[in-house]
Amino acid sequence: MTVLAERPPAIEAITGVAPGGPDGDRPRPLRRRDLDDNLSLAGAALGSLAFTWLLYYQFLPLSGVVGFVLAWYAAFLAFYAAVTWQSHPWTVVKDRLMGTVVTAGAVVVGGGLVWTIVTTFWNGFDAFTHPNFFTTSMAGVRTNAAFTQGGILHALVGSGIEIGIAVAIALPLGLGTAVYMSEVGGRFAVVVRTVVEAMTALPDLVAGLFIYTTLVVGLRLGRTGLAAALAIAITMLPIIARSAEVVLRVVPGGLREAGSALGASQWQTVWRVVLPTARPGLATALILGIARGIGETAPVLIVSGLSTFTNADPVHNPMASLPLFAYFAVRSPEKAYITRGYAAASVLLAVVLVLFVVVRLLARQRKATSR
């Protein structure tokens, strides 16, 4: 006697595919698209565009590009849902709508990033194409001078010195904090983790005000590059500590147990086993901290004044940096100086993009090593 297994009605209700259909008893994949689906998408886009144009500009007293795009997108969702519903079950309609919403969000974010990069480089193109832009400073150069005069050498040197000092302070403190939270533990580690997480959300302006009140005003350190480096170190410290802690927690516990079994102490195991194993991830944490600190403007604006000459002494006189130079340049009424500000921002943007590319490469290398 043969027993025929009946298909549960719940599956048919969910998928909308009846037994014996073109796909048999298998539900249709939601992401499979054919020519009819592509034409439905194109027709909904064109139809909603025409409908929105008539309604927005011909029948209603409305104007504005942003409002038109938002109204078009809302009409497109309605048109697309109606067209898809004619030939697909409601499950497919919801899947297509959610896919459209998510794709639109990705396009907005990616488009905003591309627009920012292209606009910044385009507005500063006339300045950074001259070699002297990287080899000279603005000392004795007027703000409306030709692009063949002056450059950002003083800002490059200042940013390099400030980031170097900040890394020398934040790296050992952040790494030590991460080791304490992941390897030592205890009740106080919970308190330290809470403080680090709170510092991650700390506004950059607060870090600048803290250094200004304690060192610049209280200890009369003056508005120098050292004060700016200390403020940058405060913003870098929680990023390095949290990222390094996550990396150390990924290290397999079997390596720690093997070190202990060989007679090594806990600190010898951490120093000789855990840290070398997590070296690519720790480098990633450091680069993320540098990418965060190199673009800081608010704390540097408070604790370090702008200068037009190259100053390599971090404890005397104001020291310029790329974010500070770009900030003051774009606020100038002179068009040439504004272009120099965009060029400085382009250099800063290129540095940050390179750092994040290095982070991605290191992360890929870490995944390949773990496999």
pLDDT, position 366: 59
Euclidean distance between CA atoms 43 and 20, whole angstroms = 31
Q: Is residue 171 part of a domain?
A: yes
Q: Is residue 4 part of a domain?
A: no
Q: Which residue has the tokens 């800002």?
A: 155
Local confidence band at 368 (pLDDT 50, 70, 90 cut-offs): low
Q: Are residues 303 and 165 in the same domain?
A: yes
Q: Is residue 9 part of a domain?
A: no
- Domains identified in the chain, total number: 2
Q: Are residues 99 and 156 in the same domain?
A: no
Q: Which CATH number characterizes residue 287's domain? A: 1.10.3720.10
pLDDT, position 90: 84
Q: Are residues 206 and 62 in the same domain?
A: no
Q: Are residues 115 and 156 in the same domain?
A: no
Domain span including residue 54? 34-123
Euclidean distance between CA atoms 341 and 51, whole angstroms = 44
Q: Are residues 185 and 67 in the same domain?
A: no
Q: Is residue 28 part of a domain?
A: no
Local confidence band at 163 (pLDDT 50, 70, 90 cut-offs): very high
Quick check: 22 pLDDT over 60?
no
Highest mean pLDDT out of 159-163, 260-264, 353-357: 159-163
Q: Are residues 251 and 365 in the same domain?
A: yes
Rounded to the nearest 5 percent, the helix, strand and coil shares of the chain are 75, 0, 25
Q: Which of 123, 150, 174 is the last residue of a domain?
A: 123
Q: Is residue 3 part of a domain?
A: no
Mean of the per-residue pLDDT values of the chain: 82
pLDDT, position 86: 82
Q: Which of 99, 123, 147 is the last residue of a domain?
A: 123
pLDDT, position 28: 52
Q: Are residues 163 and 302 in the same domain?
A: yes
Dihedral, 18, 21, 25, 29 alpha carbons, nearest 10: -90
pLDDT, position 145: 85
Cβ–Cβ < 8 Å for 281, 250: yes
Q: Are residues 157 and 85 in the same domain?
A: no
Quick check: 168 pLDDT over 90?
yes
Q: Is residue 18 part of a domain?
A: no
Q: Give the other-Cβ count within 10 Å of 187's Cβ.
A: 6
Q: Which of 58, 91, 123 is the last residue of a domain?
A: 123
Q: Are residues 106 and 223 in the same domain?
A: no
Burial of 105 (0-12, 13-18, 19+ CB in 10 A): exposed
Q: Is residue 228 part of a domain?
A: yes
Q: Are residues 159 and 290 in the same domain?
A: yes
Quick check: 27 pLDDT over 70?
no
Quick check: 64 pLDDT over 70?
yes
Q: Are residues 48 and 196 in the same domain?
A: no
Euclidean distance between CA atoms 230 and 25, whole angstroms = 67
Q: Is residue 340 part of a domain?
A: yes
pLDDT, position 256: 83
Q: How far is CA 261 from CA 151, 271, 278, in A?
A: 60, 16, 20
Q: In residues, how long is the chain?
A: 371
Per the model's pLDDT, the better-predicted residue between 26 and 143 turns out to be: 143
Quick check: 24 pLDDT over 70?
no
Record the pTM: 0.74
Q: Are residues 104 and 245 in the same domain?
A: no
Average pLDDT over residues 139-163: 87
Quick check: 4 pLDDT over 70?
no
Quick check: 98 pLDDT over 90?
no
Q: How far is CA 275 from CA 128, 150, 183, 251, in A?
A: 41, 45, 11, 9
